[in-house]
């Protein structure tokens, strides 16, 4: 059976959690059912290392407005990151806490994070009155050794590392003081390694990262379930198996940013860079479908397609969305700016 849309009132403190994870805004209006918004312009998510100052200013402004909303508002940054926490570590449940819902380490991982970003982006867009606003993606799979290094923490999230020293701004709404000081450009995440602060041989790291990208996304992930993660149906307990790119590179990139917030499930979405990290994961999911091989398609199991998930929409209302609705990026009116995907040709 598919999971029905969870009710945020059924939330139980779990291991390593804080009360905040279950302190989600009350539902003021009836639960909406999601429908596509075909009138929206196509939003092209830019590579974060390529955005200009006008884009950065706009995104900062939107995040300031989001951070200024009270935590009782589903559109607030507090509520946004708590929502991720609630969906982690078995907080949300159905009849009893013994029947929790988990969106990591199973086939809900990719669609849940896609929808989470969809609404996060729509809320930011509405706050600044710009329907074309699109989140940036952190192009860490790109091993280009030329500045601005796509693999390094993008300037948009930390102007202190800006190429122009005038732009230093620790008060930026996109800055997070908890980030690891080891993660400054040109340093980059190493996908085979879960620790950040060792001396880095950049040439070797780039070579190994490219190899790992190819292994995880091309040579290993040849079927929908290997790519997406193990089946997870109503009544199952916990993640049943991790998908092709969820373990690596997804996990090490989280930990590399830091081991405090980005590195732990409950707090990871409290750093805005979370969304750029996941935008890249989402982009890689799309790219994976374009690789040769007749099984590089989405899962078609009805328990997957009919699982429903609850989010806060751009009006602050709770909305239920099915996994089937998450699968078509065109219908969601989202695209990714194209950049070279050099690792995909390894071994060709
Ligand atoms: Cu919900 Cu990158 O994790």
| pLDDT tens-place string over residues 230-258 | 999 999 998 889 999 999 999 999 998 88
Catalytic member of 8, 250, 275, 277: 250
Split at pLDDT 50, 70, 90, the class of 159 is: low
- Which of 29 and 240 is assigned the larger pLDDT? 29
User: Would you say residue 158 has pLDDT above 80?
Assistant: no
Q: Is the pTM of this model over 0.90?
A: yes
Distance CA 137, CA 145 (A): 18
Q: Which residues pair with 137 in a beta bridge?
A: 47
pLDDT at residue number 230:
97
Q: Which of 280, 209, 291, 219 is nearest to 248 (CA)?
A: 209
pLDDT, averaged across the chain: 92
Among this protein's residues, is 254 annotated catalytic? yes
Split at pLDDT 50, 70, 90, the class of 51 is: very high
Q: Which of 11, 27, 6 is nearest to 89 (CA)?
A: 11
The domains located in the chain, with CATH, are 19-345 (1.10.1280.10)
User: Which atom, in ligand 1's list, is nearest to the CA of 250?
Assistant: 2
Among this protein's residues, is 113 annotated catalytic? yes
Q: Does residue 104 sit in helix, strand or coil?
A: coil
Among this protein's residues, is 84 annotated catalytic? yes
| pLDDT tens-place string over residues 179-192 | 876 777 888 999 98
CA of residue 104 to ligand 1 center, whole Å: 7
Q: Are 257 and 330 in contact (CB under 8 A)?
A: no
Average pLDDT over residues 70-88: 97
φ and ψ of 213, to 5 deg:
-60, -45
Residue 93 in tokens: 């449940």
Among this protein's residues, is 278 annotated catalytic? yes
CA of residue 348 to ligand 1 center, whole Å: 31
Residue 123 in tokens: 């809320």
Split at pLDDT 50, 70, 90, the class of 16 is: low
Cα dihedral 292/340/195/48 (nearest 10): -130
Task: Examine residue 100 and say whether the peptide bond preceding it is cis (omega within 30 degrees of 0).
Answer: no
Distance CA 44, CA 339 (A): 13
Split at pLDDT 50, 70, 90, the class of 308 is: very high
Average pLDDT over residues 15-39: 91
Catalytic member of 3, 77, 84, 91: 84
Q: Are 247 and 314 in contact (CB under 8 A)?
A: no
User: Would you say residue 145 has pLDDT above 50?
Assistant: yes
Among this protein's residues, is 39 annotated catalytic? no
Q: Are 17 and 266 in contact (CB under 8 A)?
A: yes
User: Would you say residue 262 has pLDDT above 60?
Assistant: yes
Among this protein's residues, is 250 annotated catalytic? yes
CA of residue 61 to ligand 1 center, whole Å: 25
How deeply is 177 buried, as exposed, middle or buried, from its count of CB atoms within 10 A (0-12, 13-18, 19+)?
A: exposed
User: Would you say residue 118 has pLDDT above 50?
Assistant: yes
pLDDT at residue number 285:
98
Ligand 1 pocket by Cβ (under 6 Å):
84, 104, 113, 250, 254, 268, 278
Residue with tokens 């199952």: 236
pLDDT at residue number 165:
46
Average pLDDT over residues 105-109: 97
Order of all β-strands in the sheet with 318-322: 32-33, 318-322, 308-312
CA of residue 275 to ligand 1 center, whole Å: 9
User: Would you say residue 170 has pLDDT above 80?
Assistant: no
Among this protein's residues, is 192 annotated catalytic? no
Catalytic member of 265, 274, 275, 312: 265
Distance CA 70, CA 168 (A): 28
Distance CA 223, CA 231 (A): 13
User: Which atom, in ligand 1's list, is nearest to the CA of 281?
Assistant: 2
Instruction: Give me the long-range contacts of 30-33 (CB less than 8 A, separation at least 24).
Output: 31/5, 31/310, 31/318, 31/319, 31/320, 32/313, 32/317, 32/318, 32/319, 32/320, 33/319, 33/320
Distance of CA 57 to the CA centre of its chain: 22
Name residues whose C-beta falls within 8 Å of residue 288's C-beta, 6 or more positions apart in sequence.
Answer: 217, 221, 227, 244, 245, 296
Q: Which of 271, 100, 254 is nearest to 178 (CA)?
A: 271
- Which of 119 and 168 is assigned the larger pLDDT? 119
CA of residue 105 to ligand 1 center, whole Å: 10
pLDDT at residue number 160:
59
- Counting residues of the chain whose pLDDT is more than 90, the rounded percentage is 77
CA angle 135, 139, 142 (to 5 degrees): 165
pLDDT at residue number 162:
46
pLDDT at residue number 327:
98
Residue 238 in tokens: 């916990």
Distance CA 227, CA 218 (A): 10
Split at pLDDT 50, 70, 90, the class of 58 is: very high
User: Would you say residue 119 has pLDDT above 80?
Assistant: yes
Distance CA 281, CA 275 (A): 10
Residue 162 in tokens: 């800006």
User: Would you say residue 318 has pLDDT above 80?
Assistant: yes
pLDDT at residue number 19:
78
User: Would you say residue 174 has pLDDT above 60?
Assistant: yes
User: Which atom, in ligand 1's list, is nearest to the CA of 116?
Assistant: 1
């Amino acid at each position: 059976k598919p999971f029905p849309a969870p009710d945020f009132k059924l939330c139980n403190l779990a291991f390593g959690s804080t009360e905040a994870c279950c302190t989600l805004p009350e539902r003021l209006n009836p639960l909406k059912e999601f429908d596509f918004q075909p009138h929206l312009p196509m939003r092209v998510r830019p590579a974060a290392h390529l955005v200009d100052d006008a884009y950065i200013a706009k995104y900062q402004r939107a995040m300031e407005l989001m951070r200024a909303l009270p935590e009782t508002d589903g559109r607030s940054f507090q509520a946004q990151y708590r929502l991720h926490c609630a969906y982690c570590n078995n907080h949300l449940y159905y009849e009893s806490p013994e029947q929790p819902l988990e969106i990591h380490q199973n086939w809900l991982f990719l669609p849940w994070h896609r929808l989470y970003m969809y609404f996060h982006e729509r809320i930011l867009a509405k706050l600044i009155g710009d329907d074309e606003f699109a989140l940036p993606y952190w192009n860490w799979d790109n091993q280009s050794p030329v500045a601005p290094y796509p693999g390094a923490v993008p300037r948009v999230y930390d102007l202190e590392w800006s190429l122009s020293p005038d732009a230093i701004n620790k008060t930026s709404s996109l800055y997070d003081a908890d980030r690891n000081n080891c993660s400054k450009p040109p340093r980059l995440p190493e996908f085979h390694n879960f620790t950040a602060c060792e001396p880095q041989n950049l040439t070797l790291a780039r070579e190994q990262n490219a190899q790992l990208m190819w292994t995880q996304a091309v040579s290993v992930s040849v079927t929908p379930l290997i790519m997406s993660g193990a089946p997870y149906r109503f009544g199952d307990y916990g993640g049943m198996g991790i998908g092709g790119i969820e373990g690596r590179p997804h996990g090490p990139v989280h930990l590399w940013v830091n081991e405090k917030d980005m590195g732990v499930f409950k707090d990871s979405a409290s750093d805005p860079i979370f969304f750029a990290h996941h935008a890249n994961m989402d982009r890689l999911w799309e790219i994976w479908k374009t690789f040769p091989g007749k099984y590089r398609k989405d899962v078609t199991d009805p328990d997957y397609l009919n699982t429903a998930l609850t989010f806060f929409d751009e009006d602050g209302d709770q909305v239920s969305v099915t996994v089937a609705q998450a699968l078509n990026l065109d219908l969601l009116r989202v695209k990714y700016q194209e950049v070279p995907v050099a690792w995909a040709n390894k071994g060709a």
